[in-house]
Structure 1
């Protein structure tokens, strides 16, 4: 896996295909839609969601392939055109966003 490798991800394994989707502050389990380096589709990504700003922030620390061991990763979820922006009706500790999926990018560090 290399910095800038990317694929699509379902942001919350419990809300696949939901529209809109509500993300909660704290731990999150996501699911890869495509391959990410050596990680195959359906790999689970584990990370954390932050909801305090105008848009949701999702950072991933671990990946668990369907038939493999957990591996450390450093990746972030991104969507263009402000699509990770929280909807106005989001309550504290939550982020209601339009889509259940985003792109996930491997990074060298969280900033």
Structure 2
């Protein structure tokens, strides 16, 4: 039996081929401090986010690293990351996975998400970022280059229309 949410997600996934849903985090240049430069959100991601009722500025709580759930502190590395929604996000249900990229070069961690994958579904493009709140993305002093030791395993993820 299909719930309204399942039907809605199925509709969005049917739209994916027509929007060219392949997205990538490649090609991002870095600023002098090691943080990523601005990057546009692809139009296909914006269309899919609207269909999923994800509006610019919407936020939800996530487990930063699906491999370190409830660990404290956690260590993040430059490169790909898989995070997990802890609550509903637009029409996305809890346990939806978010896939993105981590940069640890600056004074705090930068995380951008480019794809989402609800349980038992296909990946599709999104544009979202982890926001700095109460210094939860500040690296601990003992963090080595290419890594970031963070005090907290959870953070807020926000929908964006561009990465700044």
Scaled by the length of structure 2, the TM-score of the pair is 0.66
When Rg is computed on C-alpha atoms for both structures, the one with the higher figure is 2
Q: CA deviation at 1:38?
A: 1.2
Q: 2:87 aligns with which of 31, 34, 41?
A: 34
Which protein is richer in helix relative to its size? 2
User: For structure 2, which runs of at least 5 residues remain unmatched after alignment?
Assistant: 1-53
1:40-59 equivalence runs, <5 A: 40-59=93-112
Scaled by the length of structure 1, the TM-score of the pair is 0.97
Runs of 4 or more, structure 1, over 6 Å off, are none
Equivalent residue pairs, number:
111
Superposed CA deviations along residues 38-89 of structure 1, whole A, max 9, x for unmatched, are: 1110000000000000100000000000022211100001231222000000
- Do structure 1's residue 14 and structure 2's residue 83 form an aligned pair? no
Higher relative contact order (CA 8 A, sep 6+): 1
Partner of 1:4: 57
Superposed CA deviations along residues 86-105 of structure 1, whole A, max 9, x for unmatched, are: 00000010000100010000
Partner of 1:99: 152
Q: Find the aligned partners of 2:86 and 2:132 in 1 and give their Cα distance.
A: 15
Cα RMSD for the two superposed structures: 0.7
